[in-house]
Structures are given as structure tokens and as C-alpha cells.
Amino acid sequence: MLDLRQVASFADYFVIMSASSARQIEALEEDISKALKGSDVSRFHREGNAASGWVLLDFSDVIIHIFAPEEREFYGVEHLWARAPQVVRML
């Protein structure tokens, strides 16, 4: 998770995740959306799809990227936003 508050005005955090298959991407998207909907957090936008290897879920202050490994390496979101402090890293 990257803290964007000091480097961007459009969101507070990026959560960047990897999943090893399209089904895992779908499952993560479903679980995240369901959990946040249960907390009365609305999703404003969605981009991509599991088959493409990338899904973006925009919850306004928090934007979640779910990548297949190859797409995560290709887009290099962590490198593009290297000025943003890393808040949490799980392996």
C-alpha cells in the first residue's frame, strides 16, 4: 500500500495486489467489493478485467490495483509512484 497524500490529489492510497490467475483476480475483486459494500463504502469506478490481467477498483480515497504477475511488472506502478511512502508490504 502506497500513501499518496503528499504526492497526488486524486487519492490517498494505492493498494497494489498480485494474483496468479484470472480466477484469483476475480475472487479478490468480489471479496473486496463485497466487504467494502458491507461497510457502506461505494465503488466509484472499475477498469480492466480478470482476463486482461489487471483490474482497478476506485473507491475514491483508495484505489486498488489487482494484477497478474506479468502485468504488474509491465506497468510498474510502484516505480511510477516511487515518491509515495510505502505504508504496508506483504509478501
Domain boundaries, the chain: 2-80
What is the arithmetic mean of pLDDT over 16-32? Answer: 96
Return the pLDDT at 82: 96
What is the arithmetic mean of pLDDT over 10-36? Answer: 95
What is the arithmetic mean of pLDDT over 15-35? Answer: 95
Q: Cα angle at 39 between 35 and 43, to 5 degrees?
A: 70
Q: Which fold has domain 2-80?
A: Beta Polymerase; domain 2 (3.30.460)
Give the C-alpha separation, 74 to 91, whole Å: 19
Each residue's pLDDT tens digit, 33-73: 999 888 888 899 999 999 999 999 999 999 999 999 999 99
